[in-house]
Amino acid sequence: MTPHIVSTKIYVLVLAALLALTALTVAASFYDLGGGRLHYANAVTALTIAVSKATLVVLYFMHVRYSSHLTWVFVGAGVFWLLVLIGLTLSDVLTRGWLPSPGPWSS
């Protein structure tokens, strides 16, 4: 397997996309996207953009798109365990107020 050499054109396109997404996420932060009702609308928007940017960096700048399946398994395992870490922790923290007992969490 000889290393894949990515063309300059693709690198420039990825750079342009990353800069455009940065401008988009800054612009979006000035608006209340949930209209005062949807509490998490701004957070979801900003994180969706961040995940898109990270995916572009991993696939093209870090060459994962052109790497072996074993590399994909390694990267996927990292992301999976990160989601377990965040998901299981938040499934506890964010649901503590759902049931009346055993009282408030914060002092």
Partner 1 sequence: MPETHSEPHLQHHFVALEQQQEASTLGMWAFLITEIMFFGGLFTLFTAYVSAYSEAFAEGSRHLDLVLGAVNTVVLIGSSFTMAMAVRSAQLGKRKALLGFLALTTLLGCAFLGIKGIEYAHKFKQRLLPGPAFRVDSPASQHVQLFFSFYFAMTGLHALHMVVGVGLMTWLLFHGWRGRFTPTYFWPVELSGLYWHFVDIVWIFLFPVLYLVARHS
What residues make contact with partner 1 under the rule CB under 8 A? 1-3, 5-6, 8, 11-12, 14-15, 18-19, 22, 25-26, 28-29, 32-34, 39-40, 42-43, 46-47, 49-50, 53-54, 57-58, 60-63, 67-68, 70-71, 74-75, 77-79, 81-82, 85-86, 89-90, 93-94, 105-106
**Complex with partner 1: residue 39 or 98, whichever CB lies closer:** 39
Contact partners, residue 34, CB within 8 Å, separation at least 6: 40, 41, 42
| Sign of the C-alpha dihedral computed for residues 25, 28, 34 and 39 taken in this order | positive
**Complex with partner 1: residue 98 or 105, whichever CB lies closer:** 105
**Are 86 and 80 a contacting pair, CB within 8 Å?**
no
**Complex with partner 1: residue 39 or 101, whichever CB lies closer:** 39
How far apart are CB 100 and partner 1 at their closest, in Å? 18
**Distance (Å, whole) CA 90 – CA 75:** 23
How far apart are CB 101 and partner 1 at their closest, in Å? 18
Tokens of 55: 């995916």
Q: What is the DSSP letter of 10?
A: H
